[in-house]
Amino acid sequence: MPWLPSPWDRAGVRRVAGIDVGFEDQGRITRAAVAVLDFPSLALVEQSVARLPTAFPYVPGLLSFREAPAVLAALGQLDTVPDLLLYDGQGLAHPRRLGIASHLGLWLDLPSIGVAKSRLVGHHGEVPGPRGAWTPLEDRGEVIGAVLRSRAGVAPLYVSPGHRVSLEGALAWVMACLTRYRLPETTRWAHRLASG
DNA sequence: GCGACAG
DNA sequence: ATCTTGTCGC
């Protein structure tokens, strides 16, 4: 399993948090959820949900203004301090290289990774079919992330470094949090808590 | 002026 | 993101 993080790279990481946001009451309420999983068992160890009035519209590139307040509230309710954050959105793969995953990691001084379901910026070629295959996501001459085949036969994921994690490390962590589905377990739990 | 556009 | 039933495929 070449994509698994080396024992050295994952040293100290025991708790990986998945974060996602959902909306209630036709968008008037922002609901942020955090799911803390044990690594590498991926068992849920803690969860938290915070609901706040929505105070900013969705503007591509400015997701932090809309989602970060509720996310910080949810993170503040945790008893467990995560060692790594996986956010449902972009990290480096942002027009200004500061997607919400990077923004949160920087603010909290925690390693973070952006795992988005679609593209904000950048271009890429076809992604090979096998699970684990990936293609670089580039923008203005720089590699800003990777388009990863998390599962054969389904749309790929847009993975990018958030804070204190390299692209290779980001890919390794995402692969290590995947099981049989398109999204990593962290995101699946967070999404379940924030929405469905 | 015309597209593109995380969630 | 959210509003929503049935439907195609493993």
- Give pLDDT tens digits for A151-196: 999 999 999 999 999 999 999 999 999 999 999 999 999 999 999 8
State how far the Cα of A46 lies from the Cα of A163, in Å rounded to an integer: 23
pLDDT-derived band at A12 (thresholds 50, 70, 90) equals: confident
Average pLDDT, chain A: 95
State how far the Cα of A114 lies from the Cα of A149, in Å rounded to an integer: 15
Q: What is the mean pLDDT of residues A50-64?
A: 98
In whole angstroms, B7 C1' to A99 CA is 12
In whole angstroms, C2 C1' to A7 CA is 42
Q: Where are the alpha helices (DSSP H) in chain A?
A: 63-76, 100-108, 167-176, 185-194
Whose C1' is closest to the CA of A118: which nucleotide?
B6
Judge whether residue A23 contacts strand C, using its CB and a 7 Å cut-off.
Answer: yes
Q: Are A55 and A121 in contact (CB under 8 A)?
A: no
pLDDT-derived band at A11 (thresholds 50, 70, 90) equals: confident
Q: Above pLDDT 90, what percent of chain A?
A: 93
Cβ < 7 Å from strand B, A residues 52-71? 58, 60-64
State how far the Cα of A130 lies from the Cα of A152, in Å rounded to an integer: 6
Q: What is the pTM of this model?
A: 0.95
pLDDT in tens, A74-96: 999 999 999 999 999 999 999 99
pLDDT for the residue A181: 96
Q: Are A84 and A111 in contact (CB under 8 A)?
A: yes
Q: What is the mean pLDDT of residues A38-61?
A: 97
pLDDT for the residue A4: 47
Q: What is the mean pLDDT of residues A113-131?
A: 97
Specify the 3-state DSSP secondary structure of A61: coil
In whole angstroms, B4 C1' to A44 CA is 38
Judge whether residue A90 contacts strand B, using its CB and a 7 Å cut-off.
Answer: yes
Burial class (CB in 10 A: 0-12, 13-18, 19+), A144: buried
Q: Are A123 and A70 in contact (CB under 8 A)?
A: no
Q: How many CB atoms lie within 10 A of CB A69?
A: 18
Specify the 3-state DSSP secondary structure of A12: coil
Q: Above pLDDT 70, what percent of chain A?
A: 95
